[in-house]
Amino acid sequence: MGEILKSIFSVGTLNQMLRSATPVALAAIGGSMTEHAGIMNIGMDGMILMGAFFGALGSYLFGSAAAGLAMVLLMGILVGLFFALFVVKLHSDEFIIGCALNTFALGLTTYLSRSIFGSAGTKGNPALPKLHLPLLDKIPIVGEVLNNHSIFVYLTLIFVIIMWLYVYKTPQGFWLRASGEKPETLRTAGISPEKMKWIASILCGIFCALAGAHLSLGQLNGTFAENMVNSRGYIAFACVIFAAANPAKAYLAALMFGFFDAIGLRLQKHVSPELTGMIPYIITIVMMVYVVVRSQKKKRTKAQQKA
Amino acid sequence: MKDQNEIAVSFSHVSMQFPGVLANDDISLDIRRGEIFALVGENGAGKSTLMNLLYGIHTPTSGEITVQGEKITQFSPKNAIAHGVGMVHQHFMLVPSFTVAQNIVMRQEPRKLGLFFDNRAAEDITRQLVAEYGLQVEPSAVVQEISVGLQQRVEILKAFYRGADILILDEPTAVLTPQETDELFDVIRRIVAEKNMTVIIITHKLGEVMAISHRVGVMRKGKLVGVEETAHVTQRQLASMMVGRPVLFDQLARTGTRGAVQIAVEDLTVQNDRGLRAVNGLSLQVHAGEVLGIAAIEGNGQSELLEAIAGMRPVTGGSICICGQNAVGRTPGEIRAMGLAHIPEDRLATGVSKDASVQDNLLVGKHMLPEFNRFGFHQDTRAIAQYSQQIYDSFDIRGSGIDMRVGDMSGGNMQKVVVAREFSFDTPVLLISQPTRGVDVGAMAFFHSRIIEKRNSGCAILLVSADLDEVFRLSDRIITLYEGEITGEFDPSAISKEEIGYYMTGSRSGKELAHEEA
């Protein structure tokens, strides 16, 4: 028992926490944008998968992680445009389109992966660099936790700050939130709410694709395996809802997911991995129960205001 | 200087064709600088459409609009704002979670470093506007937490911040108390006088037209049927112009005698959706053959009270008796079976099923009756159609027929479906909430006479309406409600609307009155 506890409460767990949290956090930043624009985006899982695949493909084809990353950005924008085309322009049901996007992404990446790489997928392609900050070496524990991560682990923190500022501190952020909360207000002010929704969709596509890039090019060395996203898009969506689309809070929620994911990985030595793998998802369910209770209260308040 | 001949807005042969509806039909109208112009007409007459054209929300099918001497070529709110047109919509265009200041500066936000929203500057700007126009409102207050009256001020200030000197107000008094209405009118008069602004008011309350406007334009079925100097017309003439025939607001004949108590509410407490106490130890009785009217500003417990009586909301304390039977803890169906019918305040949410046909809506609650149902499961479609058609005709419902989708009907006709259905149950008790909200003058007179007919035939009626005139017209007794408590009970012939207003705002209560008299 003591051994188990030791392995749970270790530096390695915290280190793993950051790694596990990063893709979820990146996707949750993107999801916060669409959420503020009033779009229920459950298509993030597919968006991440596209990013993961095309990152690996780019790296494989051009033999460079940078080329992979460029491809990821391009795909992110395309997926965002695709999503907005149906949801914003053609007024399709966002839930259905999200589902379709997930199914489509799974089918497309599996098909392409098998035809290009064969059934085993690909690995060992050029990956993104890990960052080593000599300064951190001097600090015990903290240094061990924070150092030697893929570059995305650090970039995510910067993205969180930038997007938090964007949403809450810039005029465009106000418009974004107004476009979801009361689009007519924006329209009568002479700003197109649809434009804000397009922007939100594209941003979401980019951040989700980056989340995928972290999985294939950052965390694993240029690896792609079928369905490697493993429902992280849904976890990210849960984080968005949990955080009321505040990117900073969504990041904390992602860290929480990362923490339990890390614990699950540690426990694998002692308990069956199928069981430990459930931990983060159970936590997600608990989070969602809390959210439902909270949103019901909110709904009641809203109904009250309407009356 | 005020120049009577300067034209602020000019419509020239403007038409607007929506799919299937000619909303505006060849309208030519000049509105002068510095005047208050009232635009009246029934629902669907095209008033709002005409103003939406001016505000650039739609592009006219044909014709020209000229603002301050400049012809409008591109129709968008942005361009309208650039030409100095501001509009306060009937449903406020405010983001509920933003502050007053954040709403006012939207699209022309003050910035820090050219990039960031400068909240402090936004609040300073708001304070300046407040001082300049004398419209008191707290810049840092969150919009969803302030009253509708204040929200309206925010809307007006927003228009001024955007540089409006032609201000369109769409049904501005629909949500206001008599006092707030007076205040609003004072503000409008003052800004028109001081700043030489042009104000266009869309309304269907003729009393207000007389009170505030210089000139009035009347619209009917998309056409402008007349423009008059307000001083030269009477309300009766305007009403006739609106409807296209003389409207008879006859004195409603009251007959019959007051009977036994049919609704008895004792010490009732009910919570609102937020779990706060909305009805607070309230007691009232309604007798057979009388209308008890409730006068209250929205959100003072009247909605919760009616919902509790109808069984749609749990009761946390006290008792309710309908026709002598306990109604607490019973389902709406059980309470209806005791002899209650209910015209709910929100007809779209609880009054009709908007995707169903007129026939299906009329039949709700009657599906299992033997005359419409064979063997307990088979609907007799012929009998149902016959029955629906008969009600359709007798209530003068206007639409494409009993198969019409209710959601496609106008508000007035939709309300006729609700009223026809509820009246057809012939119950001894009626709860009526907002019977004529969004209903035009002609239909309003129709509903009023039907309600009084019900009263005369011995129905006990509990009435809630945001329209004070209506409460006065229909009620035998009026009670005022403030924060879930009764603040007074009155004979409508012995009290003025202004007086009632004080009781509605809680600034006076029955107890104080008794004190004063003593």
Domain range annotation of chain B = 7-243, 261-351+426-517
State which residue of chain B sits closest to A297, comparing Cα positions: B274
What is the four-CA torsion angle of A31, A35, A36, A38, rounded to 10 degrees?
150
B298: helix, coil or strand?
coil
Of A177, A188, A301, the CB nearest to B274: A301
Quick check: B381 contacting A, CB < 8 Å?
no
pLDDT for the residue B513? 47
Of B76, B94, B117, the CB nearest to A169: B117
| A301:B303 CB<8 A | no
pLDDT for the residue A128? 85
Quick check: B161 contacting A, CB < 8 Å?
no
Amino acid at A77: I
% of residues, chain A, pLDDT over 90: 60
pLDDT greater than 50 at residue B322: yes
3-state helix, strand, coil in chain B (%, to 5): 35, 25, 35
Inter-CA distances, A176 with A91, A112, B144, Å: 18, 36, 18
Amino acid at B427: T
User: Using the 8-state DSSP alphabet, how is residue B88 labeled?
Assistant: E
| B117:A173 CB<8 A | yes
Of B96, B273, B274, the CB nearest to A181: B96
pLDDT for the residue A183? 94
Mutate to test the interface with A, among B51, B57, B106, B142 (most CBs of A within 10 A): B106
| B106:A178 CB<8 A | yes
- Contacts of residue B286, defined as CB under 8 A and 6 or more positions apart, other chains included, come to B261, B262, B263, B292, B429, B460, B461, B462
User: Using the 8-state DSSP alphabet, how is residue B236 labeled?
Assistant: H
Inter-CA distances, A91 with A76, A181, A194, Å: 21, 17, 11
Closest to A95 (Cα-Cα) out of A81, A83, A110: A83
Range scoring the smallest mean pLDDT among A113-127, B280-294, B322-336: A113-127
Query: Could you tell me the sign of the dihedral formed by the alpha carbons of B399, B402, B403, B405, in that order?
Result: positive
Inter-CA distances, A184 with A187, A269, B365, Å: 5, 56, 38
For residue B465, give how far its alpha carbon lies from the nearest alpha carbon of chain A (Å). Answer: 13
- Give the number of A-B residue pairs with CB atoms closer than 8 Å: 78
pTM of the model: 0.75
Of B93, B106, B109, the CB nearest to A184: B93
| A304:B274 CB<8 A | yes
For residue B274, give how far its alpha carbon lies from the nearest alpha carbon of chain A (Å). Answer: 5
State which residue of chain B sits closest to A301, comparing Cα positions: B274
Question: Band of the pLDDT at A307, cuts 50, 70, 90?
Answer: very low
Domain CATH code at residue A193: 1.10.3470
Closest to B65 (Cα-Cα) out of B17, B23, B16: B16
Q: Which two tokens stand for residue B373?
A: 């149902």
Q: Which two tokens stand for residue B311?
A: 């069984």
Asked if the domains at B7-243 and B261-351+426-517 fall in one CATH topology, the answer is: yes
pLDDT for the residue B518? 37
Contacts with A, B 14-73, CB within 8 Å? 55, 57
Q: Which residues of A touch B273 (CB under 8 A)?
A: 300-301, 303-304, 307
ipTM over 0.90: no
Q: Say if strands B290-295 and B277-287 run parallel, antiparallel, or are unpaired.
A: unpaired
What is the average per-residue pLDDT within A75-80? Answer: 96
pLDDT for the residue B2? 45
Of B55, B102, B107, the CB nearest to A191: B107
State which residue of chain B sits closest to A307, comparing Cα positions: B299
pLDDT greater than 80 at residue A5: no
Question: Band of the pLDDT at B5, cuts 50, 70, 90?
Answer: low
Amino acid at A126: P
Mutate to test the interface with A, among B274, B277, B298, B300 (most CBs of A within 10 A): B274
φ, ψ for residue A46, nearest 5 deg? -65, -40
Residue A132 counted as domain residue? no
Residue A257 counted as domain residue? yes
For residue A100, give how far its alpha carbon lies from the nearest alpha carbon of chain B (Å). Answer: 28
For residue A191, give how far its alpha carbon lies from the nearest alpha carbon of chain B (Å). Answer: 7
pLDDT for the residue B515? 44
Question: Band of the pLDDT at A1, cuts 50, 70, 90?
Answer: low
Separation of alpha carbons A210 and A213, rounded Å = 5
Q: Which residues of B touch A191 (CB under 8 A)?
A: 78, 106-107
Separation of alpha carbons B337 and B429, rounded Å = 11
Residue A142 counted as domain residue? no
Of B77, B111, B299, the CB nearest to A187: B77
Angle, alpha carbons A273-A279-A285 (nearest 5°): 145
Quick check: B411 contacting A, CB < 8 Å?
no
Query: Could you tell me the sign of the dihedral formed by the alpha carbons of A269, A275, A279, A280, in that order?
Result: positive
User: Using the 8-state DSSP alphabet, how is residue A290 labeled?
Assistant: H
Separation of alpha carbons B317 and B333, rounded Å = 21
Range scoring the smallest mean pLDDT among A125-139, B201-215, B257-271, B411-425: A125-139
Separation of alpha carbons B320 and B306, rounded Å = 11
3-state helix, strand, coil in chain A (%, to 5): 75, 0, 20
Class of the B261-351+426-517 domain?
alpha beta
> What does the pLDDT look like over B382-398, one tens digit per residue?
889 999 999 999 888 88
User: Using the 8-state DSSP alphabet, how is residue B351 labeled?
Assistant: I
Mean pLDDT of chain A: 89
> What does the pLDDT look like over B288-309, one tens digit per residue?
999 999 998 877 899 999 999 9
Inter-CA distances, A27 with A48, A272, B458, Å: 7, 29, 66
B7-243: CATH architecture: 3-Layer(aba) Sandwich (3.40)
What is the average per-residue pLDDT within A251-275? Answer: 87
Interface residues on A facing B, Cβ-Cβ cutoff 8 A: 165, 169-171, 173-175, 177-178, 181-182, 184-191, 300-301, 303-305, 307
| B78:A190 CB<8 A | yes
Overall domain count for chain A? 1
Q: For A12-78, give the DSSP string.
A: HHHHHHHHHHHHHHHHHHHHHHHHHTT----THHHHHHHHHHHHHHHHHHHS-HHHHHHHHHHHHHH
Inter-CA distances, B361 with A38, B354, B396, Å: 33, 8, 16
φ, ψ for residue B116, nearest 5 deg? -100, 150
pLDDT for the residue B41? 85
% of residues, chain B, pLDDT over 70: 96
- Structural domain containing residue A192: 2-126+152-296
Quick check: B95 contacting A, CB < 8 Å?
yes
Q: How far apart are the first and last CA of chain B?
A: 54
pLDDT for the residue B310? 94
Residue A220 counted as domain residue? yes
B162 near B109, Cβ under 8 Å?
A: no
| B76:A181 CB<8 A | no
Quick check: B312 contacting A, CB < 8 Å?
no
- Contacts of residue A220, defined as CB under 8 A and 6 or more positions apart, other chains included, come to A123, A127
Q: Which residues of A touch B52 (CB under 8 A)?
A: none
- Contacts of residue A213, defined as CB under 8 A and 6 or more positions apart, other chains included, come to A51, A52, A55, A68, A69, A72, A128, A152
User: Using the 8-state DSSP alphabet, how is residue B252 labeled?
Assistant: P
Inter-CA distances, B97 with A48, B140, B272, Å: 31, 12, 21
% of residues, chain B, pLDDT over 90: 56
pLDDT greater than 80 at residue B474: yes
Q: Which residues of A touch B77 (CB under 8 A)?
A: 187-190
What is the average per-residue pLDDT within B441-464? Answer: 90
For residue A93, give how far its alpha carbon lies from the nearest alpha carbon of chain B (Å). Answer: 19
pLDDT greater than 50 at residue B12: yes
Q: Which residues of B touch A174 (CB under 8 A)?
A: 98, 102, 106, 109, 117
pLDDT for the residue B42? 77
For residue B201, give how far its alpha carbon lies from the nearest alpha carbon of chain A (Å). Answer: 18
| B93:A182 CB<8 A | yes
Q: Which two tokens stand for residue B476?
A: 């035998």
Mean pLDDT of chain B: 88
Residue A272 counted as domain residue? yes
> What does the pLDDT look like over B24-70, one tens digit per residue?
999 999 999 999 999 998 777 888 889 999 999 999 999 999 999 89
E strands, chain A, are: 130-131, 149-150
Mutate to test the interface with A, among B48, B107, B125, B150 (most CBs of A within 10 A): B107
Separation of alpha carbons B47 and B23, rounded Å = 9
Angle, alpha carbons B254-B259-B264 (nearest 5°): 115
Separation of alpha carbons B249 and B204, rounded Å = 15
Amino acid at A242: F
| B98:A305 CB<8 A | no
Residue A184 counted as domain residue? yes
Mutate to test the interface with B, among A176, A188, A191, A246 (most CBs of B within 10 A): A188
Quick check: B76 contacting A, CB < 8 Å?
yes
Inter-CA distances, B400 with B184, B352, B404, B412, Å: 41, 17, 6, 15
Phi-psi region of A136 (alpha: psi -120 to 50; beta: other; left: phi over 0): alpha
Range scoring the smallest mean pLDDT among A132-136, A283-287, B447-451: A132-136
> What does the pLDDT look like over B192-223, one tens digit per residue?
998 889 999 998 788 889 999 999 999 988 89
Residue A241 counted as domain residue? yes
What is the average per-residue pLDDT within B427-456? Answer: 88
A137 near A145, Cβ under 8 Å?
A: no
> What does the pLDDT look like over B252-277, one tens digit per residue?
778 888 899 999 999 999 998 777 88
Quick check: B145 contacting A, CB < 8 Å?
no
- Contacts of residue B136, defined as CB under 8 A and 6 or more positions apart, other chains included, come to B130, B153
pLDDT for the residue B379? 82
